[in-house]
Amino acid sequence: MESSPPLSSPPLCVHKIEAAIKISWSDANPATRYYGCSLGPDGRCAFFQWIDARPTILQRNYIAKLKRERDEAREQLRIQTCLARQAKEEEEEAWGKAGDMTVLNHELEEELAALKSRRWWLEKMVTLAMLLLILLIVIVG
C-alpha cells in the first residue's frame, strides 16, 4: 500500500476544527489512514480526506485474512476463558463439598465414639446383671 505522509498540519473541517487522523477498517479500505472531523458524523460534520492510497486487492485480502484469524483467536480465547471459569467454579464446589464431607466425617466419628462408649457400658451392665442372676440362683437355689 502506497503511503503518503500526513500533511504538516491536519486540515480544518468546515467548523474550523483540526481533523483527527483515523484508520479505516472497512473491507474496502482496511488499515487505511484518513482525516476525519473530531465531531464525527454524529456531530453533523462529514469532513473526510484520505491520507493513504487505497490498498491493493492483495493487501485487502491479506488484511481480511488477518482479521478473520484475529476474530478466531478472540473466539478461542473467549471459549478458553469460559472453560477456565467453569473449571474454577467446579473446583470451588468440590472443595466446598470436601469441607462438608470433612465436617460430616468428624460428626460421624464423634457419634461412633459415643456409641462405642454406650456399648462398653451396656456390656458391663449385662455382665453385672448376669452375675446378679447367678448370685440370686445360688442364694435361692
**Cα 28 from Cα 15, distance rounded (Å):** 28
**Cα 40 from Cα 17, distance rounded (Å):** 11
**Cα 109 from Cα 117, distance rounded (Å):** 12
Strand order in the sheet with 32-36: 20-24, 32-36, 48-50
Q: Which residues of 103-124 are buried (b: 16+ CB within 10 A; e: fewer)?
A: eeeeeeeeeeeeeeeeeeeeee
CB of 60 closer than 8 Å to CB of 28: yes
CB atoms inside a 10 Å sphere around CB 37: 23
CB of 57 closer than 8 Å to CB of 51: no
- What grid cell was written down for 134? 447367678
One pLDDT digit (tens) per residue for the chain, 141 residues: 555 555 568 898 888 888 888 888 888 888 889 998 877 666 678 888 999 888 888 988 898 899 999 999 999 999 999 999 999 999 888 888 888 888 888 888 999 898 999 999 989 898 988 888 888 888 887
Q: Residue 95 — φ and ψ, nearest 5°?
A: -65, -35
Model pTM? Answer: 0.48
Q: What is the separation of C-alpha 120 from the centre of its chain, rounded to a whole number of angstroms?
A: 56
